[in-house]
Amino acid sequence: MQNTDVLIVGGSAAGITAAITARKHYPEAEITLIRKEEKVLIPCGIPYIVGTLESPEENLIPDTVLSNNNVNIIIDEVTSINKGAKIVSTAGGRTIRYKKMILATGSLPVVPPISGIDLDNVFVVKKEIAYLKNLLKALDEARDVVIIGGGFIGLEFADECRKRGNLNVTVVELLPHCLLVACDEEVCTLVEKKLQERGINILADRRAKALIGNGKVQYVELENGQKIRADVVILGIGVTPNIELAQKAGLEVVEGGGICVDEFMRTSDKDIFAAGDCAQKRCFFTGGPSFLRLASIATMEARVAGANLFRLRRRGECPVGVFSTVIGDLAIGSAGMTERSAKEAGFNVVAGMAKAPDKHPASIPGTKELGVKLVFEKETGILLGGQVWGGVTTGLMANFIGALIQKKMRADEIVIFQVGTHPMLTASPIAHQIQNAAEIALAKMKEGVLRV
């Protein structure tokens, strides 16, 4: 029997961050992290092993981030939890007694119930090195690749596959546009245009009906009867919380939603916390269920759980959701609600849009146009969401917008928000996109001053 003060189950973004946070707040505690994987992949970097990085081994989180914080690492799989006795059992025959535990078991790829899904050369996005090496081997021998799912992961895989130079790439997306969950139509069309310029075929508003082949996939058949040649199929249609261990232990869960947690990230057992993709989430704007699954959210939750183990110190925030990606030389970012999703949720909204060079003057080499769209609730002027497109500063701008949303700032406050600018780094202070987009939205509200 092994004893530990803190046991963390899961070794990806949430598990690692929870361990480091726990060490900072409880310096004398014995902290143990147990995970199945010998090596841990950077989750968001997985598409880039296909082209930019060329190998899963170039996309690893080093174990020194744990060992330098005096965290014990066990490579094994927890198979059961006896929460009454505070003991876990593992596939390797270990029994470990804990005082406090954090479940960071992550998520599993969604596999659609269509025929042919079990054919060879059909891949999901797994965080397993051997599995991903098989994907790379299949791509080496392929000519035609079909990506099912036009979200961020799907498009990143598509762009990386094109970088290999020898592949015909098609993206099949169920919605009318790629990225429509995170971006409004005007941004989606910019991305689709860039993908097409890079030789990627986009089939939006289409549903995959079946995968066809003799042992190995050969075609993707769509509902309209169209057949697309495919030597490799990559499924990038989302994830579902990995709650099996928690469910077997008798913890309260919501099927498809995750392990139930309170604002301190405690589960239905006060000595067990949960963080990351496996944990239930609520929408920042409506309070209803949220299906956001992002490493940035996982680490935020882990910083709450890790701090609260033996003393409640932090309350978690409902996730806003901040995304960014880059296709070729076009970067895009999104935070919070789109204009479309806000209207669907019942908000009366106004939007402001502003574009300007991302450096000043625009004659500085490397300058790109950077656009911003902000979405506000009309009655209160509170910022609900925003999108950014342009150059490499886009990711930071999306985070900036996410912070404004989290603090529930109003358009009239954003207009006079002080921002630092520099000719080589930012737009001109005269033309700053966020403030100008807020000013345009204010004009649409027909009120220069909003009531608090």
For residues 37 and 35, give the distance between their C-alpha atoms in angstroms, rounded to a whole number.
6
Cβ pair 41, 61 in contact under 8 A: yes
Residues 267 and 330 in one domain: no
Q: pLDDT confidence of 450, banded at 50, 70, 90?
A: very low
Cβ pair 44, 130 in contact under 8 A: no
380-418: b or e for each residue (b if 16 or more CB lie within 10 Å)?
bbbbbbbbbbbbebbbebbbbbbebbbeebbbbbbbeee
Give the pLDDT confidence of 293-318 residue by residue, as tens digits.
999 999 999 999 999 999 999 999 89
Phi, psi of 330 (to 5 degrees): -105, 115
CATH number where 66 lies: 3.50.50.60
What DSSP line would sit under 167-192, residue for residue? -EEEEEESSSSTTTTTS-HHHHHHHH
Q: What percent of the chain is modeled with pLDDT above 70?
A: 99
What DSSP line would sit under 217-269, residue for residue? EEEEEETTS-EEE-SEEEE-S-EEE--HHHHHTT--EETTTEE---TT-B-SS
Q: What percent of the chain is modeled with pLDDT above 90?
A: 95
Handedness of CA 76, 78, 83, 85 (dihedral sign): negative
Give the pLDDT confidence of 10-21 residue by residue, as tens digits.
999 999 999 999
For residues 342 and 346, give the distance between their C-alpha atoms in angstroms, rounded to a whole number.
7
Residues 221 and 254 in one domain: no
Residues 151 and 297 in one domain: no
For residues 183 and 191, give the distance between their C-alpha atoms in angstroms, rounded to a whole number.
10
Per-residue model confidence (pLDDT) at position 448: 47
Residues 126 and 163 in one domain: yes
- Minimum mean pLDDT among 248-252, 284-288, 305-309: which range? 284-288
Per-residue model confidence (pLDDT) at position 452: 44
Q: Is residue 452 part of a domain?
A: no
Average pLDDT over residues 136-152: 96
Average pLDDT over residues 245-260: 94
Residues 409 and 363 in one domain: yes
Q: Is 152 exposed, middle or buried (0-12, 13-18, 19+ CB in 10 A)?
A: buried
Residues 282 and 330 in one domain: no
Q: Looking up tokens 């080499």, which residue turns up?
A: 365
Q: Is the pLDDT of residue 64 over 70?
A: yes
Give the pLDDT confidence of 372-428 residue by residue, as tens digits.
999 999 999 999 999 999 999 999 999 999 999 999 999 999 999 999 999 999 999
Domain count across the chain: 3
Per-residue model confidence (pLDDT) at position 24: 97
Residues 49 and 76 in one domain: yes
For residues 97 and 5, give the distance between their C-alpha atoms in angstroms, rounded to a whole number.
8
Q: Is residue 315 part of a domain?
A: no
In the numeric block, which tokens belong to residue 4? 């530990």
For residues 366 and 450, give the distance between their C-alpha atoms in angstroms, rounded to a whole number.
39
Phi, psi of 97 (to 5 degrees): -95, 135
Q: Is the pLDDT of residue 152 over 80?
A: yes
Residues 100 and 115 in one domain: no
The alpha-carbon radius of gyration of the chain (Å, integer) is 23
For residue 10, give its domain range.
Answer: 2-37+44-108+240-307
**Which segments of 104-143 are extended strands (E)?**
107-109, 122-123
Q: Is the pLDDT of residue 105 over 70?
A: yes
Per-residue model confidence (pLDDT) at position 451: 47
Average pLDDT over residues 28-43: 96
Per-residue model confidence (pLDDT) at position 447: 57
Q: Is residue 366 part of a domain?
A: yes
Which residue in 2, 7, 62 sits closest to 32, CA to CA? 7
Cβ pair 317, 406 in contact under 8 A: yes
Average pLDDT over residues 132-153: 96
In the numeric block, which tokens belong to residue 288? 């209803």
Cβ pair 107, 293 in contact under 8 A: yes
Q: Is the pLDDT of residue 45 over 90?
A: yes
CATH number where 375 lies: 3.30.390.30
Q: 96 Cβ partners below 8 Å, 6+ apart? A: 1, 2, 3, 4, 7, 32, 34, 74, 87, 88, 90
Q: Is the pLDDT of residue 371 over 60?
A: yes
Residues 127 and 99 in one domain: no
Q: pLDDT confidence of 74, banded at 50, 70, 90?
A: very high
Residues 122 and 156 in one domain: yes
pTM for the model = 0.93
> What ranges in 286-420 are assigned the alpha helix state H?
295-307, 339-344, 394-406, 411-415
Pairing of strands 232-235, 227-229: unpaired
Could you tell me if residue 54 is left (phi over 0), alpha (psi between -120 and 50 degrees) or otherwise beta? Answer: left
Q: Is residue 280 part of a domain?
A: yes
